[in-house]
Structures are given as structure tokens and as C-alpha cells.
Chains A and B, each alone.
Chain A
Amino acid sequence: MSSQVRFTDFKSDKQPTWCPGCGDFGTMNGMMKALAETGNDPDNTFVVAGIGCSGKIGTYMHSYAIHGVHGRALPVGAGVKMANPDLEVMVAGGDGDGYSIGAGHFVHAVRRNVDMSYVVMDNRIYGLTKGQASPTSREDFETSTTPEGPQQPPVNPLALALASGATFIAQSFSSDALRHQEIVQKAIEHDGFGFVNVFSPCVTFNDVDTYDYFRDSLVDLQETDYDPTDRDAAKEKVLDADKEYMGVLYQDEESVPYEDTHGLDSNMSQIDHEGAPEGAMDLVREFY
């Protein structure tokens, strides 16, 4: 089926319940187009979703998928990919899912460098629980649970990824459809863990990090002479307190994914023996 796959094949028949104007529509469309464009089809694709508005994505897409528990989507995705490296694995989550409850897993997923892509729909707010501060909310952002703002600096996901040894770090903006699709495509094509932080505005609860804000402020690295393979340059960019960037911030072109370093190349779903595997009795003899 792969020769005629269209991005709409990745759409399920469920209508999204996201608010009208939500950035997640554009984020998801770009993901589906990137999957189709990279030669995947729903039967070889596995999508892992977290919890929250972003987590609904697994329901609106059509593929093999699981909607995990809060913050734990990354280890699920890694387990899927290790057990069957033939699958295209994409993990989607939100800023709360990825950088708060799942922050520990994020660091280790980056280190592990399994060949999958991770798309974080970052709206800098908790939407589904109706407007509380998220780990990427600004220090002075007033919400129902932080009336004076969180009064602590936001998590810097790009710097965290770089410090943890990421081999691919990118940032995109859901409403810049073409660039978003291209960036996710690059993450899919990367040999290793392709991390994309997507600004995906919440039109209901966040009146600061709006479409207009990102449209006016984001600097597209593609329009500069930036070299994404230069780790020192990436350090400077991810720690830049004055500007926010779109595009691939860092890519290690020598990246060797986990499956290669650990010799994983078989589909573990297949068991070719009806009883114990051949040679199993050697396991017993070892205890003589």
C-alpha cells in the first residue's frame, strides 16, 4: 500500500475535540504529512501518545497506536522500536507530559538514542485541566494556580536535550505548515532520537504565547547561515535568552541509533518454535 499512501490515510474517522483554532490541528497535520512523505503507511507506523490535549492525537490518527499513562510515552515508544525495528515509531506529547511528569524519561530517551521521533506540542500551559502553569510557562505568567506567575524559570527543553547528549534537536511552529512538516520529516529521517519542540498555541488559556507572538518573534535558522552540525553554535542558540529559533538546531550526522549499537535487527513478535528454543537445554547444563 505504501506506493499510494496519502497523508489522509493517517486520519481516523474521529473528529478532533480540540478547541477551534488550536495549534494541535496544524501540528498533527504536519506529522501525518511527514509520515506519508517519508514512505510510511498506517500498518507499519506506531504512534505513542501521552496525556492531555496532545495525547488525543493517537485517537485522531490512524495507525498502530497506544495512548499511554501521563509522562511515560517515551519508554513505551522505545520498547516498541526495540522489539520491532521495522516499525516507524513516533511519540507525541505535551509540555507537561514531556518536561514535567516525564522529564526524567526525556533525559534518558535522549541518551538512549532509539531511532524514533518525539514531537512535543508545546503551548506553555495546561489546557485540558483548564489553564494552570506548565513547566515551560514564563516566570511571570499568571494562571489559576500561579496568580503571581510561577516565579521560577521555565524549563529549556532544547538546552536540556543538548546537555543530555541529543543527536537531533529541532523546533517548529504549528502554523508554519510547510516548515513544520519539513522539520518533522528531518526528525523521522534522522538515525536516532529526533526531538522536535513544536510551538502549538493554546487559543483558550494562553494569551501571551500566541500565534502572533511566534509569527513575529521566531527566527528561522534556514534563512541564516547557521550550521546545525556545529555543537558549539547549537549551545549558543539554545541558551540564547533573547531569541527563539525555528529549524534544526543540532544534528549529529554520525549518530548511531540504539538498535545498531545493541545489535537489534529482528522483529521480536515472531517465535519460530512451538516449545523451548533450540539449545535451551544448554541453559540447564550451565548449572552443573
Chain B
Amino acid sequence: MPADFNWAIGGEAGDGIDSTGKIFAQALSRAGRHVFTSKDFASRIRGGYTAYKVRTSTEKVRSVVDRLDVLVALTPRTIEENLDELHEGSVIIYDGERTTMADVEIPEEMIGLDVPLKSLAEDAGGAIMRNVVALGAACEATSFDIEHLDSSLKKRFGDKGSALVENNKQAARLGQEYVQEHYPDADLDYDLETTDNDYVLLNGDEAIGMGAIAAGCKYYAGYPITPATDVMTYLKGRIENFGGHVVQAEDELAAINLALGAARAGARSMTATSGPGIDLMTETFGLVATSETPLVIADVMRSGPSTGMPTKQEQGDLNMMLYGGHGEIPRFVLAPTTVDECFWKTVEAFNLAEKYQTPVYLAADLAMAVTEQTFEPDAFDMDAVEIDRGKVVDEETIEDHQTESGGFKPHEITDDGVSPRAFPGTEGGAHMSTGLEHDEQGRRTEDTEMRVKQVDKRNRKVETAREREDFSPREFGDPDADNLIVTWGSNEGTLVEALEYLEADSVDVRILSVPYLFPRPDLTEEFEAADQVVVVECNATGQFADVVEHDTLQRVKRINKYDGVQFKADELADDIRETLAADESQEVEA
């Protein structure tokens, strides 16, 4: 287990929690420390409890844990909410002069640093810098060189002028000095060492947006929805530099139809939304598939059903992505497992979409989308990006795909199921596309033979992909272990850390993390070789467990979490230990 350090700032939404947390996370990252952040937020703009948590270590950190070492508490509720994560010796930084904090009692075994955040901020030039004073105090409490904070402040406020940056630096120093002066004897047993490593710090939504630009995506249409909005926010203002465009549509129906139009015009095109938006897009999803239009749709999942818990984690949309839509529709469903995989799976999604002329779902989730993590910049090596546009025909090759009378065949029956594609403007390529069943030229038909041929052709693309692509799972742990843990999506990092707890306890497990949900790897052999198989996922009914049971004709055990919070490594290790130890008969009774 890495010698990690856990810090958080909490208060009311609107208190600047997010930006303060990010400034500290960036400072740590710039000091060569690994960072993993998480957010606890409510679906409101002001008020309500919200927190930004930072876990940091000199080694890679992949998940959240159940421990808090330093807490900046702007409200009494911040202390209450985190009481079970605070421990003996935890430091709580608060402003006793704040009316609501006047009566706050710091638990005896913890260290309270009462710092007049607001008045020190005013001394530095404005009460608004209150949180930065707290950051300075946190630096002192953790022996973290305040100069790292300076560069983070410069990044944050540099655009607004050097005076503002200087004021903020000053605010941080007043916080630092106050702790030095008033708590010289406090036993602050923390030491955040720095390294020379260069890291980048970003979240899953940003990585999806960056992957889209890298893949040559030129068109994005979307409608704001938590937690997918950051994809659009990222692309807006950046994709234009690469010849692209972002449209904020009037609703999700328009968003997917705008994206479909751009894709028909030949652009690499995408939309991103969350579950409720996927519901609205599902009708057009059928048209995308039937007209064989390449399109990438990211579903950044949150708690459902209906409006559910918009700011909480869940992986409840798997069945919808696998089966959503009337009729039978070939598709790809890819699930990135880490923030950097959000980048690579997005690149791959565009290639698969164009090579097979199908819609591709990118199954991300809130825990990954809003979680920032540090990476070596090489994790996003742009030189390794490849673009494959599939069977695009031009004026020279188009003749091979025309009828005797010169009609183009966009739905030509081929052995691999993939037809030629002509971008509008290509001479001799004019053709109709439709959601109606159609012939090779895209013209409506109810001919029984052609219907069967077209359905088979579309489904054949899936078989072709199985032959040509590598849909292997990612593997961790002991390859010879008797116990197999299977998961998908953002749980991978937590599982990999849970593995360290299990190993320390001599529990050997093998982990398979599955990033391809359709088409997906055949796990029959792995399941048969294992004594016990446990499927870990963030939903109540075990949607992926059902799917693999169906695939392998073998029962699995399940660990499901659906309280709105992502797995924590130490908790998950306990769950796995218990599940593996549970007697089969007891489990049936339970």
C-alpha cells in the first residue's frame, strides 16, 4: 500500500470548494506526487454539503480510501459528514470567527487549527481568498513547500493579472504564518515529500474530449447533463483549433440528430450524455444503426432510474446500451476502465464506428468522469494514435460499387458485412439512407429475401469484428489463483488496490477487467478454471453478472454497490474476502 495522504475541503456548494480543491491537487501534481481526487456533491448550485477530496502519494493511487488526514472544514456539517473517516491525529482547519463555526467542537483526539481565514484573506486583499488562506495553513500542517502552491495559483489566476496572483500568494502565506505562529507545538506529523516526476492531472470527461480531438473528431452536439457536460465544456474552445465545431442542441433528440447529420456528411462525429439522455436518443440510435452511420455516443452513467441521483455514481445503464432500441441492432459497447483509457477507448470508438459503420457506445460513469488522476504524459502519447476510416470510396473506386445503371450501393451485401461508403459530394455516389428496411441501394423494400440479407449483413459485422479485433480483458493479480474477480468500467482501479489488501492477507485472486461489453470476450475457459467467480459492479441487479452467466452457462457470485458512492479499496477487499468465504448454501438463503 502506498504511503498515501488524504486531504479534503468541504463546505456549501458555492463556497468555491471545487476550484480550491483543484488548486491543491494541481500543486501536488506539480510537485511530482500522484493524485487521485473525488467529489462529493449535491444537485444544487448553492447550499448543501459538497466536498473535494484529494488522495496523494509518491506512488500511483487508483482509488479512494476510508481515511482523512487533513480536513478544511468551512461548515460544521463538513466535520459531521466526514467523522467516520477522520482518525486520531487528523487535522481540522477551520475559521472559528465564522458565525456558523463559533460553537464547533473538534473531537479530542484530533488537532484543530483555528485560523481566521476570512480576516487574513481580507488582509491580503479580499475575503474571497479565504480558501487560499486555508491552503497555506494546510501546506504548513503537512510540511508541503508553499512554492508548489504558487505555481498552481499562477495557472489558475494568471489570466486575470499578476496582481491577483500576488494577492493569492500572499493570502496563502498569511495562512502558513498563522499556523507557524499560533500552533508551534502542534504535533503535525505529516511530510509530503516531492519528486522530480512530471505528471498531468485530468478527469475522465476531459480524457474523452481529448481522445475525440486526437481521433480527428470534428463535430460534437450535446445537451448539458450531469455528469457528461464536462465533455462538451472541454471540447468547446479547443476543437475549433483543429477545424471542429461544438453545438449545444435544444435537447438530446436534436443532439443525436445533429451528430447523425454531421456523420452522414462524413465528419467524425459524437455526442455525450447520461442515462436520461440515452433514453431520448434511443429512437435515433436505431436509425443510426440501420442507416449504417458511424457515430460515437458516450454514456457517462449516473444513478437512475428516472432522474435518480444525478450527482451520484452507478453503472445501471449496461442493459440499455446492450439492448436499447426496438428491433435488433448491431452495435459496439466499450467501457473504459481508467481515466487514461477514456482517451484510448474514445480513439478506438471512432475507428470501430467507421470501420464497421455502426454506432458505438462509450460506457463511462460518474466516478471516472469527475475523478482527476495523475498520469505520465506518455499515457496520452499522440504518436501512438492511429486513424482508420474504413471502406471509403472515391470517384475512382466508386464504379466497383454501382449497379449496371450507375446507382451507388451503400448497403452492398459483402462477405464481411461492411459496405462501401461515399461521402456526400462524391460524384456518382448519390444515394438514399433510411431507417426503413432497404435494398443495397438504400431504397425501401419489404422483399423477404432482401430483408434477411440486410439483417444478416448488419449482424455479420459483429462476427467480422470478433475475428479482426482484440477484445481481451485486462488482467491483474495472480494468474494461477483459484478465485476469479471480474469487473467492468471504473471499478478496475479500486480492485487493483483492493488486491494489495488481499495479498497482504494471503488471499490470492485473479482479476479480469472487461473493457469490451459488446462484442465481449468469451470468458468460459477462465470461469471453468476458477473455483469461484465474483462479479463486482455498481448496480443493484448485477447486469454484467447476468450477461456473463448467460455467456458461460455458469453461476457467479456478486458484489453490488448501488448507494451512489463508488467502491473504496479497503471496503471492497473486505467484501471480497467475505464473499469468497461465504458458504454456498447460506448464499442461496440470503
Contacts and interface: CB of A to CB of B under 8 A. Distances in A.
Contacts of B215: 276
B214 interface: yes
Nearest to B378: A284
A154 B158 CA distance: 57
Secondary structure dominating the interface of B: mixed
Contact of A14 (B259, B264, B266, B443): B443
A178 interface: no
A63 B408 CA distance: 11
A82 B245 contact: yes
B288 to A, nearest CB: 10
Interface string B241-262: 1111101011101110111111
Interface size class of A (residues with CB under 8 A): 35 or more
A274 B386 contact: yes
Contact of B202 (A45, A69, A287): A287
Given A105-B250, A285-B377, A68 B425 contact: no
A241 interface: no
Contacts of A83: 218-219, 261-263, 265-267, 269
A279 B259 CA distance: 25
Given A79-B260, A266-B243, A65 B431 contact: yes
B210 interface: yes
Interface stretch (B45-53, B432-440, B465-473, B574-582): B432-440
A269 B213 contact: no
Nearest to B432: A65
Contacts of B424: 43-44, 46, 64, 80, 84, 87, 269
Interface size class of B (residues with CB under 8 A): 35 or more
A166 to B, nearest CB: 16
B524 interface: no
Interface in A9-67: 12-14, 42-46, 48, 58-59, 62-67
Nearest to B410: A64
Given A63-B430, A277-B213, A288-B200, A79 B385 contact: no
Contacts of A64: 264, 424-425, 429-431
A281 B377 CA distance: 9
Nearest to A108: B250
A72 interface: yes
B451 interface: no
Given A46-B424, A105-B250, A277 B242 contact: yes
Given A79-B269, A87-B265, A105-B254, A43 B428 contact: yes
A78 interface: yes
Contacts of A280: 213-214, 242, 382, 385
A163 interface: no
A79 B218 contact: no
Contact of A67 (B247, B255, B257, B433): B433
Contacts of A84: 265-267, 423-425
B351 to A, nearest CB: 12
A274 B383 CA distance: 10
B244 A58 contact: no
Interface of B: 29-30, 198-202, 206, 210, 213-216, 218-219, 221, 238, 240-245, 247, 249-251, 253-255, 257-269, 283-284, 286-287, 291, 377, 380, 382-387, 389, 405, 407, 423-436, 443-444
8 contacts: A13-B405, A46-B264, A66-B261, A69-B283, A76-B257, A76-B261, A268-B218, A275-B387
Interface of A: 1, 12-14, 42-46, 48, 58-59, 62-69, 72, 75-84, 86-87, 104-105, 107-108, 262-264, 266-271, 273-277, 279-281, 283-285, 287-288
